[in-house]
Amino acid sequence: MIKFINVDKEYANGVKALSNINLSIGKGDFVFLVGPSGAGKSTLIKLILKEENPSSGRIYLNNMDITNVKNRRIPYIRRNVGVVFQDFRLLPNKTVYENVAFAMEIVGSHPKEIRRSVPTVLGMVNLSKKADCYPDQLSGGEHQRVAIARAIVNNPPVLIADEPTGNLDPDTAWEIMKLLRDINRRGTTVLMATHAKDIVDAMQKRVIEIEKGVIVRDEEKGVYEHEI
Amino acid sequence: MSMKFRVLKNIIKQGFQGMWRNKGMGLASITSITAVLVILGLVFIIILSLNNLVVDTKDKFDEIQVFLEDDINDEQISTIQNRLENQNGVSSVTFQSKNEALEKMKNDWGEEGYLLEGLETNPLPDTFIVKLKDIEYADEIAEDIKDLDGIDEVQYNQDIIEKLVLVANYVKTGGMIIVSILIFVSIFIISNTIKLTVTARKREINIMKYVGATNGYIRGPFIIEGVLFGLIGAMLSIAAVYYGYEYFFNTVSDRLYVLFTIYLVPPTILLKDIMTIFIAIGAGIGALGSLVSLRKFLNV
């Protein structure tokens, strides 16, 4: 589903963010991306989202070579990837329902389809009752659930979560993890960048660790830190 | 409804919303566009009227007079006539004998015509009056015939026309410079207005990008907002220029400055011209203003 072959990324200012990255994430995988801040996790995600282009190497997404694509193709590539952020990024002047529907309007979905899909997805994230609430009436966990609903409403094959539990208390963080696990079980590939040691250790999923721009570990059913 | 059409509807809706949200700065944009177009309208009216004057003057002066020597014989006259008739750009050649010339002069002088009675000899020469299709041909013809036997002098009024064309050109250039500067200023004001909408919607735009909105979808509303400002400015200025000019035109006509009004464009004809021009320029300024601000802010 996601494949990096010998990928290097050096920013224009000379900072080498990633070097010789090789990784392959299959369809339906659940992968944690761990490592200290500034190790290159964000850059890796930006490469998948085509916010940045690699300096060398090749990147594949959904069996497409996305290494070099024209700017006007980028939006269509992004439709294959749902994204969830630490800071939720909801629109404050839209209701929960509208925030989710917005993602469908952008890609030109039929209104009938929107009316059908949005309630279904809100049901999945357990927010049916809050459909008409505005973001400032929601708790942090609810915010993130709306963001997840928005990320998956267009059925992307890949979901990227960039520290989705970073702003949440432990109990709420676990709710979100369960939700991500459910989404993954339905066949969506999930790539989650995180610092949450307990979550990574408990989930027993594949762990890719990056340090100073290099993959230092890639193991199935891994834990957050090296065992010494 | 097809997908494309729904997307388009969304874009247009957002454009209108943006305009409404930005009423304050929008007013500044509309005012600046209206001002530019009103001034353009004035320049346009002046240029058109000057043009009429030039064309009319050209018509009046599109002849050359060929004065013949006193001791000319009939053979020479017919040679010259032949030569004239075969020139490029000649529409007619008329012979005016010295007696006819004197008669004409007496008529022109009217009451004072009797003064000419006292003349012992007729001082006026026989003349060929050559009507030209265009005054441009005059130099060429004069050059060609001036050495023929029996021709005293070739006379025409290129000067007046050249001066007039020169003035018209100054007005055109000056007007265009002023209008260009004002267009530039309007584009700047519009781009600042659109910048406000972009900033207000930064979050939304960021999210749109991640959900996979195309550049067109993101930019469309801003361009529409700019174009709407431009179109409103165009409407206002069309009304202002048309009604203002009509009032001026009627006042001038009422007071019977006919000499002046014949050179003025009739308001209804002006309306037709400025409608297309103003709408095109207004919408163009709006779109360009948006694009200028988007180029900086929406690098995806």
Q: What are the tens digits of pLDDT across the range A122-149?
A: 999 999 999 999 999 999 999 999 999 9
- CA distances to B69, B71, B78, B86 from B145, rounded to whole Å, are 14, 18, 13, 11
Res B156 pLDDT > 70: yes
Model confidence at A200, pLDDT cuts 50, 70, 90, reads very high
Instruction: Give pLDDT, residue A192.
Output: 96
Domains assigned to chain B: 3-57+161-297 (no CATH), 62-156 (3.30.70.3040)
User: Is position A187 within any domain?
Assistant: yes
Top pLDDT among B261 and A174 is at A174
Spatial separation of the C-alpha atoms in residues A160 and B126, rounded to whole Å = 100
Spatial separation of the C-alpha atoms in residues A154 and B26, rounded to whole Å = 36
pLDDT digits (tens, 9 = 90+) for B32-89: 889 888 988 888 888 888 888 777 777 777 788 888 888 888 888 888 888 888 888 8
User: Is position A227 within any domain?
Assistant: no
The number of residues making up chain B comes to 300
User: Is position A225 within any domain?
Assistant: no
Chain B residues within an 8 Å CB radius of A89 = 203, 206-207, 210
User: Is position A226 within any domain?
Assistant: no
Q: Is A89 on the interface with B (CB under 8 A)?
A: yes
Question: Any idea what the Cα angle at residue B218 is, between residues B217 and B222, rounded to 5°?
Answer: 105
- Over chain A, what is the mean pLDDT? 92
Interchain contact, B211 vs A109, CB within 8 Å: no
User: Is position A228 within any domain?
Assistant: no
Instruction: Give pLDDT, residue B300.
Output: 46
Q: Is A74 on the interface with B (CB under 8 A)?
A: yes
Q: Is A72 on the interface with B (CB under 8 A)?
A: yes
- CA distances to A34, A151, A163, A178, B135 from A199, rounded to whole Å, are 11, 21, 11, 11, 94
Alpha carbon of A99: minimum distance to chain B alpha carbons (Å): 10
Question: Which of B1, B203, B213 lies closest to A89 in CB terms?
Answer: B203
Interchain contact, B212 vs A150, CB within 8 Å: no
**How many pairs of residues across A and B have Cβ atoms under 8 Å apart?**
58
Other CB atoms within 10 Å distance of the CB of residue B120:
5
Please state the rounded mean pLDDT for residues A156-170: 93
User: Is position A147 within any domain?
Assistant: yes
Instruction: Give pLDDT, residue B217.
Output: 86
Q: For residue B195, what are its two tokens? A: 């910048």
Q: Give the nearest chain A residue to B205 (CA atoms).
A: A91
According to DSSP, the residues that pair with B95 across neighbouring strands are B128
Alpha carbon of A46: minimum distance to chain B alpha carbons (Å): 11
Please state the rounded mean pLDDT for residues A171-179: 94
Say which residue the tokens 């030569």 belong to.
Answer: B83
Q: For residue B116, what are its two tokens? A: 């000419």
Question: For every residue of chain A, which 3-state class applies, written as one string?
Answer: CEEEEEEEEECCCCCEEEEEEEEEECCCCEEEEECCCCCCHHHHHHHHCCCCCCCEEEEEECCEECCCCCHHHHHHHHCCEEEEECCCCCCCCCCHHHHHHHHHHHCCCCHHHHHHHHHHHHHHCCCHHHCCCCHHHCCHHHHHHHHHHHHHCCCCCEEEEECCCCCCCHHHHHHHHHHHHHHHHCCCEEEEECCCHHHHHHHCCEEEEEECCEEEEEECCCCCCCCC
Q: Phi, psi (5° rounding) for residue B27?
A: -60, -40
Q: Write out the residue range of the structural domain in which residue A81 sits.
A: 2-219
Top pLDDT among B117 and A112 is at A112
Spatial separation of the C-alpha atoms in residues B43 and B266, rounded to whole Å = 15
Alpha carbon of B214: minimum distance to chain A alpha carbons (Å): 5
Please name which of A159, A16, A166 lies closest in space to residue A86, comparing C-alpha atoms.
A166
Interchain contact, B210 vs A49, CB within 8 Å: yes
* Strand-by-strand arrangement of the A16-25 sheet: A16-25, A2-10, A56-61, A64-65
Choose from B5, B197, B207 for mutation: most chain A CBs within 10 A. Answer: B207
Question: Any idea what the Cα angle at residue A200 is, between residues A197 and A205, rounded to 5°?
Answer: 160
Interchain contact, A75 vs B207, CB within 8 Å: no
Which segment of A58-62, B139-143, B293-297 scores lowest on mean pLDDT?
B293-297
Interchain contact, B210 vs A74, CB within 8 Å: no
Helices and strands (DSSP H and E) totals, chain B:
10, 4
Chain B residues within an 8 Å CB radius of A108 = 3-4, 6-7
Interchain contact, B211 vs A103, CB within 8 Å: yes
User: Is position A132 within any domain?
Assistant: yes
Question: Which of B3, B204, B208 lies closest to A108 in CB terms?
Answer: B3
Instruction: Give pLDDT, residue B194.
Output: 81
Other CB atoms within 10 Å distance of the CB of residue A8:
15
Model confidence at B299, pLDDT cuts 50, 70, 90, reads low
Instruction: Give pLDDT, residue B160.
Output: 74
Interchain contact, A71 vs B212, CB within 8 Å: no
Which segment of A116-120, A176-180, B69-73 scores lowest on mean pLDDT?
B69-73
Q: Give the nearest chain A residue to B300 (CA atoms).
A: A51
Q: For residue A155, what are its two tokens? A: 């059925």
For chain A, how many structural domains are there in total?
Answer: 1
Chain B residues within an 8 Å CB radius of A72 = 214-215
Q: Give the nearest chain A residue to B7 (CA atoms).
A: A108
Going by their DSSP bridges, the two strands B63-68 and A214-219 should be labelled as: unpaired
CATH of the domain at A167: 3.40.50.300
Q: Give the nearest chain B residue to A50 (CA atoms).
A: B300
Q: ipTM higher than 0.85?
A: no
Q: Is A223 on the interface with B (CB under 8 A)?
A: no
Q: Is A46 in contact with B209 (CB distance < 8 Å)?
A: no
**Phi and psi based region of residue B185 (left: phi greater than 0; alpha: psi -120 to 50; beta: remaining):** alpha
